[in-house]
Amino acid sequence: MSTPTRIVIDTDPGIDDALAIMLALASPELEVLALTTVGGNTGLGNTTENALRLLHLLGRDDILVGAGADVPLVRRDSRPDEATHGADGLGGVRLEPAPRGADARGAVEMLVDVIEGSDRPVTLVALGPLTNVAALVAARPDVAARLERIVLMGGGARVLGNMTPAAEFNIWFDPEAAARVFAAGVPITMVGLDVTHQATTAPGDWDALRTDDAGPVARAVLGMVDHYTRFYLETVGTELTAQHDSLAVAVVVRPDLVTTRPAYVDVEYTGALTRGMTVVDLDDVAKHSPTADVALEVDAAAFGELLVSRVVELDRSLR
């Protein structure tokens, strides 16, 4: 097998973030160097505690966690998405406390140290609002330029919004940060709603975990998935839940899961109705240089099989 891809995950766990972190740690193709946390699905205190507890659950107290921004760069009227993820961010699933806290360095300083300290390129996987990533780009553009790529879950090209008709949550939460990230000149893969809305799992997909000898990972996954499913049934009338963040991780594991097109992407942050919209010039109308590889199609069946099989295997390995 080839050398694992080194990644840092910036995240706002978050139910789908939690499954994405599990997928990353269950994938031998990846080496997870650190997690950094951001406010989004729930406040920073919860996202940081959730990240620490998830790593403890998975036997990975060795992976450092750096806490970042709780609020967006500019706006203060962004609000957590606690309807989807619950007030605690994990659908009410209680995990054992971790035996350690977040690293004293904080997210941006940790990102700098990890990227500078690696003798191989690092990929930044961004699963939440882009506040920390924008802060890294502003503070140390030289270090951001050393990134292999930023693979971000966010936005949409033809499927625009899940927070408003025009905006996806991660971009909506901090559109000024997102605009700075897309303009930073770092290679970006944008995994947006065009593909994540197809990257779904059904409750029955997780039946392999519903056994009498289910381990702690299985119990946590089932608790989170059940909460997530109830939300989807109540709000959109389907039991198919979008595994947005896991698809971003899966794209690092298997880039062939999605079909991308290079395009100029910018972010609207002044519009009354369009705040947080990713404006994706798929047909190169404005003749700007592309700023991202935008995922437009996905092999949803292959993604679902990868996610579920690896999380099930992870549970079995930790029983």
Q: Environment class of residue 167 by beta-carbon count within 10 Å: exposed (0-12), middle (13-18) or buried (19+)?
A: buried
Check residue 169 for interaction with ligand RIB (CB under 6 A): yes
The sign of the torsion formed by the CA atoms of 164, 205, 256, 313 equals: positive
Do β-strands 188-191 and 149-153 pair in parallel, antiparallel, or remain unpaired?
parallel
Q: Which of residues 93-122 bind ligand RIB (CB under 6 A)?
A: none
* 227 vs 244, beta carbon nearer ligand RIB: 244
> For residues 47-83, b (16+ Cβ closer than 10 Å) or e, as one string?
bbbbbbbbbbbbeeeebbbbbbbbbbbebeebebbee
Select from 31-39, 55-63, 165-173, 285-293 the region that touches ligand RIB (CB under 6 A): 165-173
Q: Which positions lie near Ca ion, rule CB under 5 A?
A: 12, 14, 17, 127-128, 245
Q: By C-beta, is 212 or 234 nearer to ligand RIB?
A: 234
* Least distance between ligand RIB and beta carbon 10 (Å): 11
> Between residues 42 and 291, which has the closer beta carbon with respect to ligand RIB?
42
CB atoms within 10 A of CB 214: 16
Largest Cα–Cα separation, the chain: 59
Active-site residue 85, yes or no?
Answer: no
Binding partner of 168, given Ca ion, ligand RIB, none, CB within 5-8 angstroms per partner class: ligand RIB
Among 10, 49, 148, 168, which residue interacts with ligand RIB (rule: CB under 6 A)? Answer: 168
Residue 48 sits in the site that holds ligand RIB (CB under 6 A): no
What is the Cα–Cα distance from 187 to 75, expressed in whole angstroms?
26
Shortest-Cβ-distance residue relative to ligand RIB: 169
| CA pair distance 257, 303, nearest whole angstrom | 7
Select the span of 164-172, 220-228, 233-241, 271-279 touching ligand RIB (CB under 6 A): 164-172
Taking 3-state DSSP, the helix, strand and coil percentages for the chain, each rounded to the nearest 5, stand at 40, 20, 40
Q: Binding residue for ligand RIB (CB under 6 A) from 153, 199, 307, 308?
A: 153
- Check 85, 197, 227, 244 and give the catalytic one: 244
Site for ligand RIB in 14-43 (CB under 6 A): 14, 16-17, 40-41
CB 171 within 8 A of CB 219: no
- Residue 37 host element (H or E): strand 30-37
Sole binder of ligand RIB in the list 5, 8, 12, 227 (CB under 6 A): 12
Which element (helix H / strand E) includes 229?
helix 216-236
Q: Which residues bind ligand RIB (CB under 6 A)?
A: 12, 14, 16-17, 40-41, 127-128, 153, 162, 168-170, 244-245
**Enzyme catalytic residues:** 244
